[in-house]
Amino acid sequence: MSPTTSRQWNMIYFTAHNCNTLRSAQQEGNGATQAGYGYEFSPLLIHDMRTVPPYDFSSFNLDTSGFAILQDNLVLPQIDSDSSIASHYFAHIRALLLRAFPHYTDILYSGHLRRKRHPGFPSALPSGVEGESHYQQPLTVPHLDYTPTSGAQRLKQLLNGKEHASAVVDRPFDQLNVWRVIKGPNNDWPLALCDYRSVDRDSDALRSRSPGHGNSSTENFFLKNNSAHLWYYVSDQTPDEMIVFRNTCSEGRTEPWAWHTAFDTGDAQDWCRESIELVLFAIL
């Protein structure tokens, strides 16, 4: 296994040329739009969570940093098909999270992502490679998948037509992702997360809106450069080390969010990163 260490990386940050920060977006409401994004590269260190005392990942949790590491044995047959992931794997993870976070009353499945890095990524990714083209590639820009607004919209979609939906749709929620590698120990394009304690949400968050179907739109957050940001990853991550992180929460709450991105450690290993990610809504 490689030594645990911090990694140097040129992080890609968006800039706010004609974009609204979170504060102005909140002031302008749903009429706020974004255009003209620029970007900049910022050299920084991404720290290894294994080197942070007391060296058991307990320094990171959903209530402070916005992410946590849980131990869980990966059962490969549970992820051998989309249907199995949505049923067996989700049921397993749901039970685990309800035990780990008993303040949640329910956890709902919203989707999943299987990623398998192509050897050509990111510089020479061919299109239509047989057996590879259906896998999404790692994302390399710090982002959150949802805002409170788009998270609430997605939850409403999930509950549409469901029994007891009216009792759930207005309850507080957290939108959580559960991310792990399928093969390890992995140092190939691992997941990096920004410790929320180092983020100024009002000034650092950049809202992005993309047109959807009909009159709908989707929103997420990018992240402005701030030298105070502290970034972390798990070196030599194994399939049994599961990263749970919060993308957003219901409107009016201030729970920590975890901006995240993949990055290149520069380490050579015999396989390209493969990961499985669940997209969930945790109801309070």
- List the chain domain ranges: 7-283
The pLDDT value recorded for residue 135 is: 62
CB atoms within 10 A of CB 6: 15
The pLDDT value recorded for residue 75 is: 97
Closest-CA residue to 110 (of 96, 98, 93, 132): 93
The pLDDT value recorded for residue 5 is: 74
Report which DSSP code applies to 158.
H
The answer to pTM > 0.95 is no
Structure tokens at 137: 């590639």
Rounded Cα distance between 145 and 132, Å, is 24
The pLDDT value recorded for residue 250 is: 97
pLDDT in tens, the chain (284 residues): 445 578 999 998 877 644 444 443 334 333 333 445 677 899 999 999 999 999 999 999 999 999 999 999 999 999 999 999 999 999 999 999 999 999 999 999 999 999 999 888 887 655 554 444 456 788 888 999 999 999 999 999 999 988 888 888 889 999 999 999 999 999 999 999 999 999 999 999 999 887 655 445 579 999 999 999 999 999 999 999 999 999 999 999 999 999 999 999 988 888 899 999 999 999 99
Class of domain 7-283 (CATH, top level): mainly beta
With DSSP H G I counted as helix, E B as strand and the rest as coil, what are the percentages for the chain, rounded to 5?
20, 35, 45
